Structure 1
């Protein structure tokens, strides 16, 4: 029995075998190094954002790692109603409106294309799949936005990217494979129309995949940068990513403040040091995603694997 069991065990794939002690040690070392590469820079940014003038002066005005004194003056100045506050609120509005529109369009299209016998089913699906293979390019997209009169308008940051063919494919596959057809047939027998079937049966059973796709859309809108630079250079209130980029590269205060305030911040003469203000602004852009992710994480495995592989 021992020889037979050994032969059976020897035929197993390498990844099915129990790792050796050395293998476990190497994996642990690799994961620890990877985690440190992520955590250390993030911690340094947070530590610098709460550092006082004296601590930053001791470090030469650069990043600090272990501040002995903590000050929240940088966050008070950023959230006091100035340019950064307006930019954060604008980005939040952009994220909420954009995610709602994108999720609504994706759900409607995915449900329609998941129902056999829908009008021009294959033609619409083929047209959508072609967009995954052939992108229009930056210049044609800019001309379309220009002809629609959307330049320097918030809608230029939503409409060109409000629909993702990849997310539609994932959601359509989920509707076709994970929502029992018998329930939909029973709803039709009871007299339910397509809209009632969608809202009463399909969507309640698709909360996991909707949460994941909604997070994908929300992160994309929250991190809007390139489209804002391309389509809205003259917009008075800019997305937070653009504001921080201009602030960091120009080494001046936030756009929209008066010259005296900008000069005070850049020279370190303001209430909070310039390094603390910059890192505090970066922390403000990270916190919403960090807070949102734990609530969505439990749905990732179930939603993405089921929606993308089954069938």
Structure 2
């Protein structure tokens, strides 16, 4: 390759890199700005937020919204319930997904292709809300934590991703060699497959944990006892009550409207903070897991 061609290639690469960085910067701003705005608005004087004065940094810093939220005992009850539901639910999800994905990844399992077709159909068709509720009710799980965990014990998409990882990343020859050495299926799974599957396990923990943490619709349907409400449902009720109080009250109407406005942003921060703190630790595994599920069948 001539010197002139090399210089042209280098210039093209630099121009391409510059375009990529510019696009990435624009996307980063689009993604980060709403989060920065919400954080700033939650600490700002709600009157200045409503007037459009808050763009990037907080204006007239105040902690009234967080004080009102964190002094509410229901918040701490909701946190405790959500942590319990997330921990127990994620543990059950991981165990059930492993026990389903590993056999389906083995080429010596009879009828596994038919099973995968049947399992995949559940991503597109379900019994519906009313039959599901009737089933949960007949099983005696209404007003218990199990109504939030058992119906979603296995997510079909996560099952497919984990099965694909087992197939693509763990050589079948390794499993055959282990069997020839007298290794049982359980020992093979526990001592060989799972230690080699730490990246996908981290991805599954993130997927399931975030799903449990953000879930409120199932609790809205199945949980009537306020002592069992998860955090998301508690925060939803606080937000609705603060807004309705602002509308119904004739005394201090303006102050109540302003407080409801600031509570709206503080509620988002309070509910999202644990997930935002956890995500950086599994981010690299998260990207790898998504690519596994999207590229290979």
Inter-partner Cα distance in structure 2 for 1:84 and 1:61: 29
**Residue of structure 1 equivalent to 2:147:** 156
**Residue of structure 1 equivalent to 2:185:** 194
- Greater helix proportion: 2
**Residue of structure 1 equivalent to 2:58:** 67
Q: Does 1:146 align with 2:137?
A: yes
**Residue of structure 2 equivalent to 1:204:** 195
With over 3 angstroms needed to count, the CA separation of the structure-2 counterparts of 1:266 and 1:150, relative to structure 1, is farther
Match of 2:275 among 289, 297, 307: 289
| 1:202-256 per-position Cα deviation (integer Å, ceiling 9, x unaligned) | 11111111111221111111110222222224443322222222332342599xx
Q: How does 1:1-311 map to 2 (within 5 A)?
A: 18=12, 24=18, 31-51=24-44, 55-59=45-49, 64-65=54-55, 66-72=57-63, 74-75=65-66, 78-80=69-71, 82-118=73-109, 121-251=112-242, 273-310=259-296
| Unaligned 5+ runs, structure 2 | none
Inter-partner Cα distance in structure 2 for 1:239 and 1:76: 20
SS across alignment from 1:45? helix
SS across alignment from 2:227? coil
Report deviation, 1:288.
1.3
Do the aligned residues in 2 keep the contact of 1:46 with 1:279 (CA within 8 Å)?
Answer: yes
Report deviation, 1:116.
3.2
Do the aligned residues in 2 keep the contact of 1:209 with 1:307 (CA within 8 Å)?
Answer: no
Report deviation, 1:279.
2.6
Inter-partner Cα distance in structure 2 for 1:117 and 1:104: 22
With over 3 angstroms needed to count, the CA separation of the structure-2 counterparts of 1:117 and 1:93, relative to structure 1, is same
Inter-partner Cα distance in structure 1 for 2:91 and 2:219: 19
With over 3 angstroms needed to count, the CA separation of the structure-2 counterparts of 1:302 and 1:38, relative to structure 1, is closer
With over 3 angstroms needed to count, the CA separation of the structure-2 counterparts of 1:133 and 1:69, relative to structure 1, is closer
| 1:260-306 per-position Cα deviation (integer Å, ceiling 9, x unaligned) | xxx9999858xx95544443232121111111111111113433323
Inter-partner Cα distance in structure 1 for 2:159 and 2:130: 25
Do the aligned residues in 2 keep the contact of 1:78 with 1:277 (CA within 8 Å)?
Answer: yes
Number of corresponding residues: 287
TM-score, scaled to structure 2: 0.79
TM-score, scaled to structure 1: 0.76
Report deviation, 1:62.
8.4
